Each structure stands twice: as structure tokens, then as C-alpha cells.
Structure 1
Amino acid sequence: MTESNLDLAADGPQPRGRVPGGVQSLERAFELLEIMADAGGVIGLSRLAQESGLALPTIHRLIRTLVDLGYVRQEPSRQYSLGPRLIRLGDSASHLLGTWSRPYLSRLVDALGESANLAMLDGDRVVYVAQVQSRQSMRMFTEVGRRVYPHCTAVGKALLAHLPPIDVHTLLERTGMPAQTEHTITEPRRFAEEIDRVRAQGYAMDDGEQEIGVRCVAVPVLGIANRLAVSVSGPAPRMTPDVVERAVPLLRQAAEDLADELSVPRSAGPDRIAG
């Protein structure tokens, strides 16, 4: 019996987001990698089975293959972690993501005059993957690749607001809630109220919580597998309530357009939606 037949005969439900006509073993392998990423990069077999719904023999076979290829490694604790061979793929993908997002970020800068950013939830941190800077002499600069705590940034709040509350609670237990400034929310109950407010209004604010004198507004990029958020940031005196009010619908449109861009398959060819 071939490996493909073995996979088809294996017990367990179909992977989430099953692609019609896809190769089942590939879908299952990538599903396991995504579950590992959602768990912070390290996970045990029992949780992989619980989250995926796959039978343990199927998971063992897939994980063993991923370990042999370097995409997963086994820890001394006998848990499994994302492997070093993924780093090169991630670096290349992040570079391309920055290229694809630049037209949308540039439109925000043109419309609002402040710096625009794209950030991603990567494990327990938020990483900035792209930025287009304001053309004003005093502007906000965030180094691409910078990793920050999610609880004190607008992009982080926007991303956490679309996770199940239990996942948010677990993440914050792992990271703690260290104060970056005197305005950082460090109390779990108050932060839960903040996240409820973000969910209700559809956007998040950081008012000097990551850096004194900086105000930022962000929205999530919905409808794609990656956890992304777009934001506009600037000096607090320029980021007035009026500017924030103008920024929110523009951010939402940019997020929708970027989601459309990222959801178009590469195989779509010349009819692919232009940025």
C-alpha cells in the first residue's frame, strides 16, 4: 500500500480547510505545523492529537518525516518544536509579505501623513514585517523584524481580540505583562476589558503604552490564515481623535484589500488581482 493510500485510510477527520483535490498527507503535515505555531512553537503529541483530531499513528508518521527533513525537532522533554529549516522559508516569506503589503501601506501614508505598519503574531510576540515611513521630519520608525509584547501595542491588541479568550489568557500567562511605560496595562482584568472594547469597536489603540509620546491605531487583517494587523502610528500631538477617526475606515479598507491580495492563489496567473 502506498503512503498516499495509508494516509487516506488513516482514522480521524479531514484537516481544517481541506482543499478539494489536494494531497491529504501534505495538508495534514502543514496542519500540524500550524498547530505547533499556534501553541508557541513547542507541543506534545497528545495535544497535537487533540487539536488535529488525527490518530496517533498518523501523527507519528508525519512528525517523523518532518523531523527527518529538519522542519521539526524533538526536544529533550520529548515534546516537538518547529525546526531550524523553517527559518529560511520564513525569512523569504516575510520579505515577500513586506513587498506585497507596501502599496497598501503607502496609500495610508499618503492619506494620513503618518507611518503605516504591518505586523504579525509570531508565537507569543508581535513582529513587525513591513513599514512605510511618514514623510514628515518627526516620524515614528519601527525596525522591521522588531519583536514586541502584544499586550502593549495596538497591533497586538487587534490580533489578540480575534483569538479565543482562553488562548489570550494562556499567552499572557506565558509572557507576563511587563510595563513598557507608565501607561502599559499590566492587570489581566483590565486588559480583558480592553480586549472586549477592541472587539466591540473593531479597532485597537496604543496611547503611549509601548513608547511615551506615541499613539497608534490598528485593525486586524481578517479572512486569511496568517494573523496580521495593519496600523498607523505617529507622535501623540498629531494623532488627534480626528486623525484616528479618519484612520479607522482607511485601515479597514487597507486590511480588506491586503486580505484579498494574499488570498489570491499564485496559480491565478495574469488575472491575479493587482496591488
Structure 2
Amino acid sequence: MRAAFRDLRLNFRDPESTEKSGCAVTEENGSKGRSGSVQSIERAFGLLETMADAGGMMGLSQLATASGLPLPTIHRLVRTLVDLGYLRQEQSRQYVLGPRLIRLGESSSHMLSVWARPHLTRLVDELGESANMAMLDGDQIVYLAQVPSRHSMRMFTEVGRRVLPHCTAVGKAILAQQPEAEVRELLRRTGMPQHTDATITDPGKFTEQLRAVEEAGYATDEGEQELGVRCIAVAVPDAPSKLAISISGPAGRMTGELVHRAVPLLTQAAKSFSADLR
């Protein structure tokens, strides 16, 4: 959802300020922040991101505590976001992320795939196997982009497909960046179902593997989601969402030598993709 908030800037107007004579608006307290910025808009997006990080629902006092802003300022911003449809107030008087963010999120996901495609194409050109980009969405991995291998026998993952993270290289690469307590809670919720004989279904063994992934800088799927398929993935650093890119192919072609070549190329592609998202 964070990626959608940048698109939201095109639709959200500062509730506190107006533009006069074409001049830049001033901030609430008369002080200036970053050049060309509008403080109320920055604060509104900060509140949306805070709510997204907290699961999408918070009360005014919680928002005030988390943001450090005065309660009257929180109330003013929240009411504007409610009027615009970006927040909604429940009967409990708490606020939840509103339905207008869904459209922006869908557009943002599409743009992620557009921006990822050149990086994935270069990986296919260099390595010959299918390249993917995926995101952790709630408790699931969703594939947002793929450039298929040019081999007649290749791995094909449908864009939009959802899988659980414990049996995928992209899922492991992403979870290795998260606090262990959060990972264990996710595993408890999903139940770690077994897909093949190679699937790791023990939370302790899985978190041990994540520590190895963090140290190595990449993750593997050794036929854990689908027999005969091997996948190598790295997390996208400093991304607005929890993203990873990978290559996948038949285990017979995904040799140790290919993995050795793939890891630095994947790492560079992830860094370049991250830079494109800033």
C-alpha cells in the first residue's frame, strides 16, 4: 500500500492552505520544510503510512502518539482524508484505510511491473532462465511481473498468482529482512502446509534457514513449491513495499555454476530496481 501513497499526491490537496497568485503555499506554522514541500500533505501521507504499518486501523489518540502531532492537527487531517474517501470511520470510532486507496494500489502494482520489466529482461538475457518480481502482501506472496525464459521448456508463473512465502525463494528473501517474532507469527497464521517432500514445515528449521539467507544475501527454493523447479531470489533493498526478484528454471539447468553467476546479477538488478523506485 505504501507505493500507492506516492500516486495519491496527485489527488490530494492541502486542507490547510490555498495557493494565492500562483505562489507556493506555506506550511501551517509558517516554517519551511523541504524545498517545494507542503507540510500538511507530508503529514497526511505520514498518517496513511503509519496506519498501513499498524494493520490499517487506528484511533486518533494512537495516531497522535505514533506521529507526535497535536491531536487537533490529527483530527483536521483525518477528517479531510475521510471526506476524500482515503480513510473511513468505523462504528468503534477508529479509522481504517478507505476504498479509494484500492484503485491507487492497483495502479501502483501495475507500475511496479512496468518498472521491473527492463531489469528482469536483462536477467533473462544474461542467465537464460525466467525472471520474476514478487511482493509480500499480507501473509502471501503475489507475483507482479515475469519475463519468461526463451527455452522451450521453461518455468511460467502467472502474474497475480498468490502463494505462501515459506516454500518460495522470493518469500524467504523477503522474510529474512523481517524481525523473527513477526516471521514466526506469520508462520503460525499460515500453518506452513507441505507442497512437496522438500517443503520446510518446521518453524524452527525455517527461521534457521532465514538466518543463513540473511548472511548469504540470497535465498533458494529447492523444489519446495514444485518438484523439479529451482529458484534463486534476493530482496529489493529500500523499496516502498516488501519486494524480491528471482530467477527460476528446471533443476537440471539451475546448476551450481549458474547460481554462482546469478547471485551478483540478481543483487545488482535489485539495487538498480530500488533506485528506480525512489
TM-score normalised according to structure 2 size: 0.80
Give 1:76 shift. 4.9
Deviations 1:76-131 (A, max 9, x none): 55543322211211222222221121111011111111110111222332221111
1:196 paired with 2:211, answer yes
The aligned residue for residue 3 of structure 1 is: 16
The aligned residue for residue 85 of structure 1 is: 100
- C-alpha distance in 2, partners of 1:253/1:21? 32
With over 3 angstroms needed to count, the CA separation of the structure-2 counterparts of 1:83 and 1:135, relative to structure 1, is same
The aligned residue for residue 140 of structure 1 is: 155
- C-alpha distance in 1, partners of 2:170/2:100? 28
With over 3 angstroms needed to count, the CA separation of the structure-2 counterparts of 1:174 and 1:7, relative to structure 1, is farther
Q: Select 1:72's aligned residue among 87, 107, 113.
A: 87
Deviations 1:217-240 (A, max 9, x none): 111111332322110011222212
Matches within 5 A, 1:221-240: 221-240=236-255
The aligned residue for residue 12 of structure 2 is: none
More displaced stretch, 197-206 vs 148-157? 148-157
Give 1:133 shift. 0.4
1:131 paired with 2:146, answer yes
- C-alpha distance in 1, partners of 2:71/2:58? 14
Say whether the 8 Å CA contact 2:27–2:39 is kept in structure 1: no
Give 1:47 shift. 4.9
The aligned residue for residue 266 of structure 2 is: 251
- C-alpha distance in 1, partners of 2:275/2:27? 36
Matches within 5 A, 1:87-126: 87-126=102-141
- C-alpha distance in 2, partners of 1:261/1:166? 31
- C-alpha distance in 2, partners of 1:149/1:195? 15
Question: How many residues are matched?
Answer: 254
- C-alpha distance in 1, partners of 2:227/2:62? 41
Say whether the 8 Å CA contact 1:8–1:24 is kept in structure 2: no
| Structure 1: tracts of 5 or more residues without a match | 10-17, 264-275
1:62 paired with 2:74, answer no
The aligned residue for residue 30 of structure 1 is: 45
Letter in 1 for 2:86: Y
- In our comparison, the structure showing a higher alpha carbon Rg is 2
1:184 paired with 2:215, answer no
- C-alpha distance in 1, partners of 2:275/2:214? 22
3-state SS in 2 of match to 1:209: coil
- C-alpha distance in 2, partners of 1:110/1:164? 35
Q: Select 1:165's aligned residue among 180, 187, 198.
A: 180
With over 3 angstroms needed to count, the CA separation of the structure-2 counterparts of 1:114 and 1:188, relative to structure 1, is same
3-state SS in 2 of match to 1:237: coil
With over 3 angstroms needed to count, the CA separation of the structure-2 counterparts of 1:173 and 1:81, relative to structure 1, is farther
More displaced stretch, 83-92 vs 72-81? 72-81
Letter in 2 for 1:226: S
3-state SS in 2 of match to 1:186: coil
Give 1:254 shift. 0.7
The aligned residue for residue 212 of structure 1 is: 227
Deviations 1:11-33 (A, max 9, x none): xxxxxxx8554222222222222
- C-alpha distance in 1, partners of 2:194/2:62? 32
